[in-house]
Amino acid sequence: MQLIDWQCSACAVEFEPSAEAPDFCPICVDERQYVPDGNQRWTHRTELLDTGHRVEVRELEPGLTSLTTPNIGIGQSALLVQTKAGNLLFEVPGLLDQHAFEVIGELGGVQGIVASHPHMYGVQSAYSSAFGDAPIYVAAADQNWVQRSSPSVKIWSEPFEPIPGIRLEQIGGHFPGSTVALWKGGAEGRGALLAGDGVFPVADGNVTFLRSYPNRIPLSGPVVQRIATQLAAMEFERLYNNFATVVPERAGEIVAFSAARYAAWASGSNDSLT
């Protein structure tokens, strides 16, 4: 009986190997995501490679490389942070191909893996196995969303540095364990925040905060203010989300302004304008 490493076609998150595909993806039936056309579909690495899918690699700034998988799951961009002390893969693609393996190897490999939230788990156990069983850091508040077990999974709750110079903190909001990574060496040493979906750049150059992005479910004003207060204690000039969209400068100020704007509208203070 052949065991297949199944992945949900909608989010690309890996599941336990089995002969038959699972019945449904818990991550996609949750209100923060969706099952396209209401029809659960499954895929796996061989099928993805056979149909021409590849990982696209691009340098975003010195020491930061994106790994993007267009048309696989959500299509997120993973961010490989390279430091003298080791490399952190923040967010995980839905595919590991030979090109990505070789490029990452040339850049120093992977010494730690973390996803900002469950939508970004991708094929994290595959990346861990390919790079010396690198630890996979999973936020304690979200650990029940992991669909494939691995001895490399390490549960954490308190802020810490998986790699010297890169600090992880859970800010909540989108998911209770939604995580950001503060890369002190980013933006030419002024600091870069890898924010996942927790803080999301928008069209006017500011940012927003939501429980669900595809379904437009908001967060409350107090939750957004709580997130902003936590982020105000961090120093960063630049911000990247999980699609490599960037707030290139004054990102800390922009987060604070955007949170105040959001909270004002959510509180009803601006109802006279509607």
pLDDT score for 139: 98
Percent of the chain with pLDDT over 90: 100
pLDDT score for 1: 72
Nearest-angstrom CA–CA distance, 49 and 237: 38
Nearest-angstrom CA–CA distance, 237 and 250: 5
Nearest-angstrom CA–CA distance, 32 and 42: 19
pLDDT score for 173: 98
**111 and 88 in contact (C-beta within 8 Å)?**
yes
pTM, full prediction: 0.97
**What number of H helices and E strands is found in the chain?**
7, 19
Give the residue among 116, 113, 89 at the shortest CA–CA distance from 199: 116
pLDDT score for 77: 98
pLDDT score for 238: 98
CATH topology of domain 7-36+55-267: Metallo-beta-lactamase; Chain A (3.60.15)
Show the CA angle centred on residue 60, arms to residues 179 and 184, nearest 5°. 50
Q: Which residues of the chain have pLDDT under 50?
A: none
